[in-house]
Amino acid sequence: MIEAAAQLSNFHASPILNGLIQSEPIQQGPIQPAVSGWAWAALNALTAVMVGVGAIGRVLSQHLFWLGIRNFVLVDYKKYRDVSVSTQCHAAEIGRYKAAVVAQQLRRQGARVAGLPIPAEELDPGWLRPPCIVVASADRHSADLAAHKLALAQNVRFYKVNLEPALILSSFRFYDYTMDPLDRCLECGWDDSTYLRQRSIHSCEDVSERSTGSPRPLSELTAGWAALLIVSSLVDAAAAERLRGREFLLSPLGPVLSESILPEKTDCLGCHRRSGSLVYLVQSPGEIRFHDLALQAGFQPGEELWVGSSGLFARRCRCSKCCKEVAGLWWVKFVHQAAGWCSCGGRLLPVPFHASSGLSRQELHGVWSSPLSSLRVGRRAAVSLKGSGREVTFILR
Ligand SMILES: [Zn+2]
Ligand SMILES: [Zn+2]
């Protein structure tokens, strides 16, 4: 016993070990494989929008940082639970939001990060400001769908990273929505039953994660592999060509790697969701009016216009407490979000039947020349104007 303790103390006193501990460098810059022709500068201004920072997404974000991506938007509404210690976190992190913990981890290393503890369904279009990519490793179809809608509408590259623990299998898919014409999208692979199986985050159903208990080595292997593929598609045109529109399966127990061409579907619901003309505004909702947007889009004064929004225009609200209904005009992100307060102190909630994602210019007449903030249009919202056969979508700052 004494002998062992002596050995241990000698071990700790070892100058080699002490030297290692004391002089271990803190690596600030990225370490990038020196592949000839790879244009690493393409990563400098890029933002990675990570939808899901769980067992795969947390490690994947870290790998992307080590490879040179410096800006992140992290979207995950979940908190770490006891079981997460085995799959993805430290014990001290239990009970904290994943998005907040991973954001803090990356920020400490010098990344610029927005950590959003919200479901993907609540992500505003303005977070996808180019140059950016969307990386989805969520485990709900409705989260995929929400992230996918935004990536498609804003012509952004979309990567889907998955694993299947029962088969010890990782999968990587790359859909390139910067391409025109677009030949395939994530939803091309979906049939009606996929849409039916979607569960809303705001429903009373259980939306707990499916992948609880995925072995950590497989999550981390998947994340490392996917990070290299994602980055190669960004810094090398030939690699992008090689990867786009394909699914790759990595199965460490063999056969090791297989690939397939992703399906195309002529009647796909997803591919038709692309926007026409996109304008990223430097103004926030307080600094611009519908009037300015119509001018900027080149529509004539008095021309018939249809105004669409990433949120909802509510024409009627009902008080959550006294149930009184009031008419008016409010902008809300969702039907479950309060538009304001009743005089009784209750919350004014939009009446679903009287809330729509679009209104005519006439219906917005009263607020046409007021800042969008007077209607409480949110930051990073999208507002589109449609008239005489064309549509222009504005993304607010
Ligand atoms: Zn499609
Ligand atoms: Zn009331």
Chain-centroid distance of CA 344 in Å reads: 38
For residues 286 and 189, membership in a common domain is answered with no
pLDDT at 199: 67
Assess whether 257 and 323 both reside in one domain: no
pLDDT value of residue 203:
58
Examine the domain organization and report whether 236 and 366 are in the same domain.
no
Q: Do 168 and 255 sit in the same domain of this protein?
A: yes
CA angle 365, 371, 374 (to 5 degrees): 80
- Return the CATH number at 48: 3.40.50.720
Residue 143 near residue 51, CB atoms below 8 Å = yes
Expressed in angstroms and rounded, the spacing between residue 351 Cα and the centre of ligand 2 is: 14
> Which of the ligands is closest to the CA of residue 184?
1
Q: Give domain status of residue 70, yes or no.
A: yes
- Cα(241)–Cα(186) distance, rounded to whole angstroms? 17
Dist CA 47 CA 72 (whole Å): 5
pLDDT at 48 (0 to 100): 98
Nearest ligand to the CA of 158 is: 1
Report the distance separating Cα 160 and Cα 378, nearest Å. 28
The answer on 249 and 179 residing in a single domain is yes
Taking the CB of residue 57, how many other CB atoms lie within 10 A of it?
27
Residues 246 and 384 in one domain: no
Q: Looking at the structure, tell me whether residues 330 and 359 fall in a common domain.
A: yes
Gap from CA of 343 to ligand 2 centroid (Å): 6
Residue range(s) defining the domain that contains residue 241: 40-201+210-273
Task: Give the per-residue pLDDT at 202.
Answer: 61
Domains identified in the chain, total number: 2
| 147 and 57 in a common domain | yes
What span, in angstroms and rounded, lies between the C-alpha atoms of 55 and 323? Answer: 44
- Please write down the HEC assignment for all residues of the chain: CHHHHHHHHHHHHCHHHHHHHHHCCCCCCCCCCCCCCCCHHHHCCCEEEEECCCHHHHHHHHHHHHHCCCEEEEECCCECCCCHHHHCCCHHHCCCEHHHHHHHHHHHCCCEEEEECCCHHHCCHHHCCCCEEEEECCCCHHHHHHHHHHHHHCCCEEEEEEEEHHHCEEEEEEEECCCCCCCCCHHHHCCHHHHHCCCCCCCCCCCCCCCCCCCHHHHHHHHHHHHHHHHHHHHCHHHHHHHCCEEEEECCCCCCEEEEECCCCCCCCCHHHCCCEEEECCCCHHHCEHHHHHHHCCCCCCCCCEEEEEEEEEEEEEECCCCCEEEEEEEECCCCCCCEECCCCCEEEECHHHEEEEEECCCCHHHCCCEHHHHCCCCCCEEEEEECCEEEEEECC
Q: Please report which ligand is nearest the Cα atom of 187.
A: 1
Does residue 35 lie in a domain region?
A: no
Which of 249, 273, 297 delimits the end of a domain?
Answer: 273
Taking the centre of ligand 1 as the mean of its atom positions, its distance from the CA of residue 153, in whole angstroms, is 12
State the pLDDT at residue 275. Answer: 79
Segment-wise mean pLDDT, segments of 10 residues, the chain, 397 residues: 46 44 56 89 95 96 96 97 90 96 95 96 96 94 92 96 94 95 92 79 54 84 97 97 97 91 92 88 97 96 94 96 96 92 95 94 96 96 94 96
Q: Is 270 exposed, middle or buried (0-12, 13-18, 19+ CB in 10 A)?
A: buried
Q: Do 96 and 141 meet the contact criterion of CB atoms below 8 Å apart? A: no
Residue 184 Cα, ligand 1 centroid: separation in angstroms?
Answer: 5
Residues 396 and 127: their CA atoms lie apart, in Å, by: 10
Cα 54 to averaged position of ligand 1 atoms, centre (Å): 27
Q: What is the Å distance from ligand 1's center to 250 Cα?
A: 24
Q: Are residues 285 and 327 in the same domain?
A: yes
Does 238 lie in the same domain as 284?
no
Query: Do 62 and 147 reside in the same domain of the chain?
Result: yes
Q: What's the 354 CA to ligand 2 centre distance in angstroms?
A: 18
- State the distance from the centre of ligand 2 to the C-alpha of 353, rounded, in angstroms: 19
Ligand nearest to the backbone CA of 348: 2
User: According to the model, what pLDDT value does residue 204 have?
Assistant: 54
* Start-to-end C-alpha separation, the chain: 66
| pTM for the model | 0.89
Last residue of some domain: 230, 254, 273? Answer: 273
58 token code pair: 């947390």
Owner of token pair 């009627």:
316
Both structure tokens of 32: 């990038």
Could you tell me if 143 and 240 lie in one domain? yes
Bond into 131 cis (ω within 30): yes
Q: Which ligand is nearest to the CA of 326?
A: 2
Region of 123 on the Ramachandran plot (φ > 0 left; ψ -120 to 50 alpha; else beta): beta
Ligand closest to CA 319: 2
Structure-block tokens of residue 371: 């800042």
Q: What is the pLDDT of residue 86?
A: 87
Q: In angstroms, rounded to a whole number, what is the distance separating the alpha carbons of residues 245 and 241?
A: 9
Please give the pLDDT value at position 26: 53
